[in-house]
Amino acid sequence: MIKITFPDKSVREYEKGIKASDVAKSISEGFARNLVGAVYKGKTIGLQNTLNEDGNIKFLKFEDKEGKDIFWHTSSHIMAHAIKRLWPDAKLAIGPAIENGFYYDIDLDHRFVQEDFEKIEAEMKKIVKAGYELERFELPREEAIKFMEEAKEDYKVELINDLPEDAVISFYKHGDFVDLCAGPHLESTKKPKAFKLLSIAGAYWRGNENNKMLQRIYGISFEKAKDLEDYLRMLEEAKKRDHRKLGKELDLFFMSEEGPGFPFFLPKGVLVKNELMKYWREVHKKAGYVEIETPLILNQHLWEVSGHWYNYRENMYLTSIDEQDFAIKPMNCPGGILVYKNSLHSYKDFPMRVAEAGRVHRHELSGALHGLMRVRAFTQDDAHLYILPEQIKDEIKGVIQLIDEIYRQFGFSYKLELSTRPEKFLGEIEDWDLAEASLKAALEELNLDYVINEGDGAFYGPKIDFHLTDCIGRTWQCGTIQLDYQLPQRFEMEYVGADGQKHRPIMIHRTAFGSIERFFGILIEQYAGAFPTWLAPVQVKILPISDKFIDYAKKVEKELEALNIKVELDSRAEKIGYKIREAQMEKVPYMFIVGEKEAENNTVSVRERQKGDIGAMSLDEISSIILDKINKRENDSPQLV
């Protein structure tokens, strides 16, 4: 018999070798019908997997991240099966689940076009309707290689050859389709009833431009047709909000072939970015943080101590100075620790709250780059808190409240996820238990709903992740709070306790924006480029009806500039209707139209972004309204109101 522990800490005994699906059915047949997989002993498994040891189990629905991974991974196999039926000569590379759906990389002389999607989808429907069971089997290395060679699957042979000698080589079969795969998968092909193939792209095999270019087909799938319809509607809306398109149209930023993954911010983009950072600094100063700045380049020894040199080196940019190896920092933490170690500390200094908007560089694969969302150089709004064990709960509460304040400022709601001790971890269980209990207590004292992500903590400590929901329902993982017992040990950080002895501090890592560049991109899409007045790069556009009123328009411009209102004057010899339409396209919050009547009465005719024409007003009156919105940082974007 084995003992299975459920998320509510209840324990049941079962026969060794029982399927995960049968454990679910022992709870309720209805409960089992809605499941797609499970997390058993910290590892995601399929419902067809057997349980042979004591361990924790958490069952997964499609709504769970791991559930989506299983669902979409199986969907990729269904798509590959359909392609092989239609084009038997197709060679399969890899077909994983991704953040939103799945893809499969295909090597085929036939060039896929959008018209092929209907044929593939029709074949996928047949496979789903057949409801084939997914069966896992293993083969010894030589047999596995021979099996794939006979199937003429060259890419699979290469993958097998690159696996460690002691690796388990597993395959999944459904119907007459077999694929090299570690899994896990759905029990059968019948669940992904609603699916859509979305796009085709080129992708180098293994992301290496020296390898062959393959055809990557992207798709999405759901259990219900309504969910697919909602998703496709959201995609259409997302296209209109694409930050890459709007960034170009609104002169905010651009990307260049001379620096792939390194964004160029234009004057208007810098204005928005600076306003974000001004707000960030105000919030942190109010919360008792001090700000530091650490070097961009630090030597190899530092990164060896931190562990990055051995575990993250392929993502780092390296250089040599005076015959010594250095790295451009991919993280701010080690530099921040050197700042801590620069002085002696007492327990009376704690909590120490230290923030850094630090520039970091990471070598991302070219195929992964995506506007501002995935770049190679970005500014991380890090903060590191150095605390005593008894301060964990209160400091976590303070960090949650700070991040909550920031997200609500921009109109985001969010969900919280608490990730607990993984199977492999560093440190003492007692420390982990205290840390997890403190995180839970902080969340519960703030009356916040959260989901426990069992066993998904970092190896050095548990964490809380913030998943933002924007105004069209998309989610973004930005903020995180991580407890760390390990870096203080690796760097031999110390403080003098009340007992006069030296002790190790506990370290909290946290971000709110995450990457300022990525958060900027998210905001462009959240507001569809129509930034709130306080954040807009141009808050007022002055539109003279003709050249006769340029002098008066310049006078208005100077008065607004003196009030620190961001203003632009459109002095072009164009018709006023054209100027108004262009200003609307630029999503400017206010337009001041000036002509003979306005010049005579010392007024401006005001057009407000949402309400349109709101009439003639004195400059003092409308300036007061605008300044009030700026000072209060009102979230008056038409996308949120």
Q: What is the CATH number of the domain that holds 87?
A: 3.30.980.10
pTM of the model: 0.81
User: Nearest 5°: CA angle at 454, between 460 and 219?
Assistant: 105
Active-site residue, selected from the candidate residues 509, 510, 518, 541? 509
Per residue in 231-290, pLDDT (tens digit) is 999 999 989 999 999 999 999 999 999 999 999 999 999 999 999 999 999 999 999 999
Same domain, 121 and 190: yes
Q: How far apart are CA 175 and CA 401, in angstroms?
A: 53
Per residue in 182-197, pLDDT (tens digit) is 999 999 999 999 999 9
* pLDDT above 80 (res 459): no
415 carries an active-site annotation: no
User: Nearest 5°: CA angle at 629, between 625 and 633?
Assistant: 170
Same domain, 362 and 444: yes
100, exposed or middle or buried, with CB in 10 Å at 0-12, 13-18, 19+? Answer: middle
From start to end of 119-193, where are the E strands? 135-138, 170-174, 177-180
* pLDDT above 90 (res 434): no
* pLDDT above 90 (res 557): yes
Same domain, 114 and 22: no
Identify whether 414 is part of a domain.
yes
Q: Which domain holds residue 396?
A: 253-294+330-526
Number of domains in the chain: 5
Q: How far apart are CA 436 and CA 457, in angstroms?
A: 10
Q: Which long-range contacts (CB under 8 A, 24 or more apart) does 571-577 make?
A: 571/544, 571/547, 573/547, 576/543, 576/545
Identify whether 531 is part of a domain.
no
Same domain, 421 and 519: yes
- In the chain, what are the helix, strand and coil shares in percent, each to the nearest 5? 40, 30, 35
Per residue in 278-333, pLDDT (tens digit) is 999 999 999 999 999 999 999 999 999 988 898 889 999 999 999 999 999 999 99
Q: How far apart are CA 73 and CA 228, in angstroms?
A: 17
Q: What pLDDT sits at residue 387?
A: 96
Neighbours of 209 (CB within 10 A): 10
Q: How far apart are CA 384 and CA 343, in angstroms?
A: 16
509 carries an active-site annotation: yes
* pLDDT above 70 (res 539): yes
Per residue in 13-47, pLDDT (tens digit) is 999 999 999 999 999 999 999 999 999 998 999 99
Q: Among 361, 352, 353, which residue's Cα sits nearest to residue 317?
A: 361
* pLDDT above 80 (res 460): no
The per-residue pLDDT of the chain, averaged, comes to: 94
* pLDDT above 90 (res 517): yes
State which amino acid sits at residue 128.
V
Identify whether 639 is part of a domain.
no
Confidence of residue 641 (pLDDT cuts 50, 70, 90): low
* pLDDT above 80 (res 67): yes
Active-site residue, selected from the candidate residues 48, 64, 73, 333? 333
362 carries an active-site annotation: yes
Last residue of a domain, one of 61, 80, 105: 61
The enclosing domain of 508 has a CATH number of 3.30.930.10
Q: How far apart are CA 103 and CA 75, in angstroms?
A: 9
Same domain, 587 and 507: no
Q: What pLDDT sits at residue 422?
A: 84
Identify whether 84 is part of a domain.
yes
Per residue in 126-144, pLDDT (tens digit) is 999 999 999 999 999 999 9
Tokens coding 407: 């997200």
Identify whether 243 is part of a domain.
no
Same domain, 274 and 336: yes
Q: Which residues, in sequence order, are bridge partners of residue 359?
A: 379
Identify whether 442 is part of a domain.
yes
Per residue in 338-386, pLDDT (tens digit) is 999 999 999 999 999 999 999 999 999 887 889 999 999 999 999 999 9
Same domain, 287 and 309: no
181 carries an active-site annotation: no
The H or E element spanning position 221 is: strand 213-222
Last residue of a domain, one of 10, 41, 61: 61
Active-site residue, selected from the candidate residues 174, 362, 474, 607? 362
Same domain, 35 and 163: no
Q: What pLDDT sits at residue 303?
A: 94
463 carries an active-site annotation: yes
**Sign, Cα dihedral of 199, 204, 207, 209:** negative
Same domain, 258 and 226: no
Q: Mean pLDDT, to the nearest integer, of 217-232? A: 96
* pLDDT above 90 (res 457): no
Q: Which residues, in sequence order, are bridge partners of residue 466?
A: 416
Q: What pLDDT sits at residue 91?
A: 97
Same domain, 503 and 361: yes
Q: What pLDDT sits at residue 73?
A: 97
Q: What pLDDT sits at residue 94?
A: 95
* pLDDT above 90 (res 166): no
The enclosing domain of 19 has a CATH number of 3.10.20.30
Identify whether 419 is part of a domain.
yes
The enclosing domain of 586 has a CATH number of 3.40.50.800
Active-site residue, selected from the candidate residues 382, 404, 456, 470? 382
Q: Mean pLDDT, to the nearest integer, of 578-585? A: 96
Q: Mean pLDDT, to the nearest integer, of 452-475? A: 85
Active-site residue, selected from the candidate residues 77, 84, 376, 384? 384
Active-site residue, selected from the candidate residues 48, 215, 380, 639? 380
Same domain, 394 and 462: yes
Identify whether 222 is part of a domain.
yes
Same domain, 315 and 352: no
